[in-house]
Structure 1
Amino acid sequence: MNTTRHRLRAGWVTVVSAFTPVLVQAQQTSPEAPAAPATGLETVVVTGSALGGVKKLEASYNIVTANEEQIRQSNPKSTADLLKISPGMWPESTGGQTGANIEIAGFPGGGDAPYFTTLLMGSPVYGMPTLSFFETTSIMRLDDTVRSVEILQGGPSVVFAGGQIGATANFLLKTGTEQPSGSLGLTYGDENLWRLDGFTGFKVAEGWYGSVGGFYRTSDGVRDPQFPADEGGQLTVTLKRESDRGDLLLYARYLNDKNQFITPIPLIQSGTDSFHAYPGFDPRTGTYYSKAIQHVRLPGYPNGGTTADLANGRGADMWFAGANYDHEFDSGWSISNKFLANAGDADTNALFSGTNPASISDQLYSISTALGGFELPAGSATATFVGGGAVAPTQDVIHQGWWFIHKELKNFNNDFRLSKEVFDGNTLTVGVYLAYYEMADEWNLGNQMLMTNTPNARPIAVSYVDGGQVHQLTDGQGFLDYGTFNITQRGHAFNHAIYLSDSWRIDRWLLDASVRYENQDATNRVCNLENVNLDGNPLTIYDNAVSVCDGTLAVTNYDKDLTSWTVGANYSFTDSMSSYVRVNRGGHFADFDNGIRGSTNDNLPPMQIVRNYEVGFKFQNEFLYADISAYFRDFTGLQYQQTDASGAPTGVRLFHGSESKGVNFIGTLTPVENFRFQVVANYLDGKYTDYDACVPYTNLVTGNGCATIEGKQLQRQPKLRYVLTPSYRFPFEWGDVEAYVTYTHVGDRTQDQSGLQQLGSYYTWDFGVTSRVGENWQFALRGTNVTDELGLTESNSRIFGTASGTNGVLLARPLEGSEINFQAKYLW
């Protein structure tokens, strides 16, 4: 595998060398230089503004924008990975195309994406920002139908759209124009990626414009699972009506994409910031996934069992339909309405980490059951590979959960605004936000499969003799159990909010004050579980205690009100320099899985509340662009829930808080024509507060215990992160060539609230070369982590506390190795 990839990388040199004469011979008219970065202070942003749009110069909040070219230049591995262009945003995208953990500096998440909301044309794609096994970028894909993105942190987001207290990313679609335009691109990547992208925009009739676009791709992935790691595509259509008084935009999208969800792999830890390859396992390209464990039968799945396929991964099969309408009336009145409906499946077929690896002899006989071993009678077991062949006593093995979660989602929301210019410079807006959404799940967690601790693992079946009788420790597929948390779950919720916002322009001041009152009324129904012997045979150990629904339901009603508000003031010293201050208060509602499930109606968790204080400064001239902000964030109502080895909640919930202060910075230096140096950086000092007692935890590596969290660094968030990107554009008569390199430094982080498991720091190098030839052709060569750096984003999330065991063995998610792709695109 590695030899092949090194040959492919060397082949890129040949491709570029062969392509150079073609560029030299091209005699097309020189195209215009690429568009300037969409970070300019004259850029109009719509997210977070009640006015329907405001210049970045006057926006009194932290917002980062990127146009289509900048999105491509950032070369994101996934939709979540694009968020790295915003300082303070930390997407952990090592899990693959979907299922990222998204952290926002100063917001104490620690997994999934509770403080992040994805918007499509200004509408939230789901009523809650996250659920277990679902975060909203999982149903969003980047392609040539996306015109730009606006990423807003804190500030007015507590009032507008879904009322998110953390961050929102608003993806804006391309539409048709008077002059027909489009593009068709083909991409090849050295992980055997083939991708076709297309878009066309056109005039339908006078005042009516349409567009169609999308992509299809297949890829083996950098971590090759022996089946397609990513396979699927997306189709988007729009129809726009323009008039003198307003616009109507109708859009629809269908997404069907399957993506490998990458589980942690073994490494060796020899210090807080020193990690090395585990023997026989390349941390940059290895994966446990294989054809041998791809197809399984899961008898413990609710309602009689099911079959499952790892190739279905953590993908999405979703449709979207939306409508945006804006209209201006006489006498300063205007209305705006945004509607979105979407529904479909967002399933998970994936491995989830169990205990650390060991020899099969130790697993069977020496390691205690408290640490994931079996403590069988000495010499009693027979281990064979599924499909045939004896397993050597020294064979390195591991058992991991083969989890399947079927998730059906429905979402409908509408945001209506009525605005009136009360007097010159003052605009009052009243808005109503309504949302209805559903979730229907079937979970099959556990399913510990015994397998080789090798890339592309093989499953192992074990039987043993005790008391003269043969016991089956595993079934014929290698499963040690048929699930320990096999629930059915149905939830539905209504959110309704009313908000009022006033914006007042006084000379060089732009003042705004907004308030939002919201109610979330949710009901969740979860089946109660009992353990049963599935086949009635006590000698088949794997199914003697399978959790199944007992015919009764636990019904939890969650009905909470929240008032959020924000006040901001921006002063423009000149047309290229401004400063702002903002204060806001917001809250975080519980979701179906976090806060509602597991609660009773009289024991619901308290509302999470954040108070955010922010100051910022923006400046731009011919040579320099700078956007810097500093903040203080105070959280109350955070909760900790102890879980067992399968991730099921256990014990009582504990509540605490956090305090954070930090600085976000984005800047561009252009000292000479065609050269640009960009910096994206943030510093965070965040700590947990308000809980002095020892927190109990379950740990299958070092044993159960307790740890203090008071004063510990916010989990998973780097104290210091910066991205440096110098680029240079070489103009020629036939076109141009623009080249850049990106150096990224990610500082120290910890795995969980205890701070006992360090994740260290790392750096990466990326590059890109784009050539525009004549009016119509564009060629691009891009690479990520081209020096194959080893860096971690998380360790075993099933382990609280120290996750490295004997000899420093650690299960963790490292960065993927180098990935290089080449695209040829024709534009018209």
Structure 2
Amino acid sequence: LDTAISASVIDETDLAKLSVSSVAGIIQNIPGIRAETSDIDGFSAITVRGLPLSGDGSKFLQLQEDGLPVLEFGDLHFASADQFLRADLTLSQVQAIRGGSASTFASNSPGGVINFISRTGETAGGVMQVSSGVGHDLKRIDFAYGSPLGDGWRFHVGGFYRQGEGPRDIGYDGFKGGQVKANVTRQFSNGHIRVYAKYLDDRQPNYSLYPIGLSGTNEAPKISDLPGNAIRRNAYESRFTQSYLGVDQNNNPTTFDVANGLRGITKSIGLEAQFDIAGWTVSNRFRFADISGEYNESIPMVSAPAPAIAFLLGGPGSTLAYADGPSAGQAINDARLLALSIRINVQQNQMDNATNDLRASRVWQVGEGKLTTTAGVYNSSQSVDMYWNFANSINDLAGGDRNAPVNLTSAGGVPLTDGGTYAYGFGFAVPVAEYHNRYDLKYKVLAPYGSANYQIGKLAVGASVRWDRGSVAGRVFSPSYGGGRIGQIAADINGNGAISVAETKVAILPLTQPAVVDYDYN
């Protein structure tokens, strides 16, 4: 009963014992936190026990780095906060506050706050670590070094770099990149000032959905691998499906590279100051982060034997043949498994944020107990500039890193696909331009807050309050708003001078008809 909040800490000793490298994998070790992950940063779902789990991201939970949010909002679809956060040897500890007053410790955190805290070089020393995948291709080097410099100065610098295919068979380097972090601290008799910076450019494969075999009964279900596949070793992508044609945010033909996977790019600089002044402890944290990246995912929308896929998409008498891979041009005449895929590419053009948190606290002697009071004001600006693109394609399910695109031809000999692409948008079940959107928004948040905690003996009673006020302005480009907005055209995407059937199903943005966003909330 000696604390009024529910808090947990994973220190550097415990971090070294964890056999995970992802942010969500570390979070799984915090009591009361649920994290669904394939040990990849950027496609995770995190929540606090008792609150719903989002499809991706952390809707009710805020992820912080050194006391400030990675992203202002944890539930930005296709842009979760852990995509722009990495754990390496520069990490000192992870602190978590769950439930209750967590909503007043930070904005957009009704369920909790998880703070990843960096080392700052209190003691001289460093470490270098080289690791390699066992049974798979992945090489990584980590380093960290820090030391006092005299006259109250100290520093710490560290980071990592990695490259390799990874633990699942995809046929190309799914992991590539790293980060460097550094900070310099000047210690005074009554406080400190710290300047820090980070550069992150790292990509990881998106281990998304994968089809399996299901048999047995409700009481005794049996899950099995599909022929030629191994769910523990395979991923849906391969070197034959790595790149595909599409349309960029200016409605021009482009090529998407799935090897970019989940890519996070962050260039940030921050300032932290804390001083004891006339009985008060006053602190201020500021950070500006230039953030961008890319999200790639392929999902098996429909998995079925080849004749069923051909009939479903091409009608009676339609035929199939490989579009790429070792069997390119070869007809498919058996009942091997194929899939109609949803291919997702999201360009995270600008996810910049600037945040500042100023607070003052003081401990008062009240009777036989101590009253700790805190007051502060939080201010932030968050950009959300994203482009969502979807496509439908056909590929086989050969397994390993051999999944290859498949072309479909009608009974009359008319090609219905281009290199396996069935539609440059959605070509099945929903409108072609469904979810084909561009967001260009700016969020501003101002939040004064305060708390009081009275402790007497082993009993602590606390109360806190926070008032969030926000404004949102910008534009959204989406054909789904109607009003004469055009979302589908025919266009020569592959540049061969002719319009194919697939090229009559091209999703575009209504660039001259944006929807205006302008509202306040509190």
TM-score, normalised to structure 2, is 0.89
1:547 aligned partner, one-letter code = A
Deviations 1:122-171 (A, max 9, x none): 11111112201111111111111000001221122110123501122111
Give the corresponding residue for 1:546: 506
Deviations 1:384-411 (A, max 9, x none): 4334322234232101122111012100
1:227 aligned partner, one-letter code = Y
Aligned equivalents of 1:396, 1:382: Cα separation in 2: 12
Q: 1:349 to 1:302 in 2, by over 3 A?
A: farther
2:103 aligned partner, one-letter code = V
Q: 1:531 to 1:493 in 2, by over 3 A?
A: closer
Give the corresponding residue for 2:289: 342
Give the corresponding residue for 2:238: 290
Give the corresponding residue for 2:340: 399
Q: Which has the higher contact order (CA 8 A, sep 6+)?
A: 1
Deviation, 1:275, is: 1.9
User: Percent identical across equivalent pairs?
Assistant: 24
Deviations 1:64-96 (A, max 9, x none): 211122112121241111111122322111273
Give the corresponding residue for 2:10: 66
Whether the 8 Å contact between 1:217 and 1:233 is mirrored in structure 2 is yes
Q: 1:538 to 1:232 in 2, by over 3 A?
A: closer
1:560 aligns with 2:521: yes
Deviations 1:192-219 (A, max 9, x none): 2211111110223410101110111123
Give the corresponding residue for 1:145: 90
Deviations 1:443-483 (A, max 9, x none): 112x11110122231001222244xxx432111x2100001
1:364 aligned partner, one-letter code = A
Whether the 8 Å contact between 1:382 and 1:464 is mirrored in structure 2 is no
1:535 aligns with 2:491: yes
Map 1:253-292 onto structure 2 (within 5 A): 253-270=198-215, 271-272=217-218, 274-292=222-240
Deviations 1:644-696 (A, max 9, x none): xxxxxxxxxxxxxxxxxxxxxxxxxxxxxxxxxxxxxxxxxxxxxxxxxxxxx
Aligned equivalents of 1:279, 1:301: Cα separation in 2: 39
1:230 aligns with 2:168: no
1:501 aligns with 2:451: yes
RMSD: 2.0
| Worse overlay, 489-498 or 211-220 | 211-220
1:207 aligns with 2:152: yes
Aligned equivalents of 1:299, 1:549: Cα separation in 2: 10
Deviation, 1:316, is: 0.5
Whether the 8 Å contact between 2:166 and 2:174 is mirrored in structure 1 is yes
Deviation, 1:315, is: 1.6
Give the corresponding residue for 1:374: 313
**SS of corresponding position for 1:143:** coil
Give the corresponding residue for 1:169: 114
Aligned equivalents of 2:53, 2:12: Cα separation in 1: 29
Map 1:23-422 onto structure 2 (within 5 A): 58-94=2-38, 96-112=40-56, 113-177=58-122, 179-190=123-134, 191-270=136-215, 271-272=217-218, 274-299=222-247, 302-330=250-278, 332-355=279-302, 357-365=303-311, 373-376=312-315, 378-386=316-324, 387-407=328-348, 408-422=350-364
Map 1:627-646 onto structure 2 (within 5 A): none
**SS of corresponding position for 1:60:** coil
Q: 1:381 to 1:302 in 2, by over 3 A?
A: farther
Aligned equivalents of 1:175, 1:517: Cα separation in 2: 32
Deviation, 1:103, is: 3.1
1:443 aligns with 2:391: no
Whether the 8 Å contact between 1:266 and 1:281 is mirrored in structure 2 is no
Aligned equivalents of 1:317, 1:89: Cα separation in 2: 27
Aligned equivalents of 1:380, 1:123: Cα separation in 2: 57
Whether the 8 Å contact between 2:322 and 2:404 is mirrored in structure 1 is no
Whether the 8 Å contact between 1:263 and 1:353 is mirrored in structure 2 is no
Q: 1:326 to 1:300 in 2, by over 3 A?
A: closer
Aligned equivalents of 2:454, 2:102: Cα separation in 1: 19
Aligned equivalents of 2:188, 2:39: Cα separation in 1: 45
Q: 1:481 to 1:461 in 2, by over 3 A?
A: same
Aligned equivalents of 2:275, 2:245: Cα separation in 1: 55
Aligned equivalents of 2:506, 2:373: Cα separation in 1: 59
Aligned equivalents of 1:137, 1:353: Cα separation in 2: 25
1:464 aligned partner, one-letter code = S
Q: 1:63 to 1:267 in 2, by over 3 A?
A: same
Deviation, 1:289, is: 1.3
**SS of corresponding position for 2:421:** coil
**SS of corresponding position for 2:20:** coil
Map 1:522-671 onto structure 2 (within 5 A): 522-529=472-479, 530-535=486-491, 540-550=500-510, 551-561=512-522
**SS of corresponding position for 1:292:** coil
1:392 aligned partner, one-letter code = N
Give the corresponding residue for 1:474: 417
2:277 aligned partner, one-letter code = F
**SS of corresponding position for 1:133:** coil
Deviations 1:590-645 (A, max 9, x none): xxxxxxxxxxxxxxxxxxxxxxxxxxxxxxxxxxxxxxxxxxxxxxxxxxxxxxxx
**SS of corresponding position for 1:287:** coil
Aligned equivalents of 2:450, 2:47: Cα separation in 1: 29
Aligned equivalents of 2:194, 2:100: Cα separation in 1: 28
Aligned equivalents of 1:557, 1:353: Cα separation in 2: 37
Aligned equivalents of 2:280, 2:489: Cα separation in 1: 68
Q: 1:110 to 1:269 in 2, by over 3 A?
A: farther
Give the corresponding residue for 1:717: none
TM-score, normalised to structure 1, is 0.57
Instruction: Give unpaired runs (5+ residues) of structure 1.
Output: 1-56, 366-372, 562-828
**SS of corresponding position for 1:552:** coil
Give the corresponding residue for 1:813: none
1:400 aligned partner, one-letter code = S
Aligned equivalents of 1:391, 1:404: Cα separation in 2: 29
Whether the 8 Å contact between 2:489 and 2:508 is mirrored in structure 1 is no
**SS of corresponding position for 1:374:** helix
1:545 aligned partner, one-letter code = K
Aligned equivalents of 2:13, 2:142: Cα separation in 1: 14
Deviation, 1:359, is: 1.9
Give the corresponding residue for 1:793: none
Whether the 8 Å contact between 1:176 and 1:202 is mirrored in structure 2 is yes
**SS of corresponding position for 2:259:** helix
Aligned equivalents of 1:464, 1:247: Cα separation in 2: 72
Aligned equivalents of 1:329, 1:207: Cα separation in 2: 19
Deviation, 1:513, is: 1.1
Instruction: Give unpaired runs (5+ residues) of structure 2.
Output: 426-432, 480-485
Count of residues paired in the alignment:
489
Q: 1:454 to 1:167 in 2, by over 3 A?
A: farther
The list of structure 1 runs, each at least 4 consecutive aligned residues, that deviate by more than 4 angstroms after superposition, is 536-539
Deviation, 1:302, is: 4.1
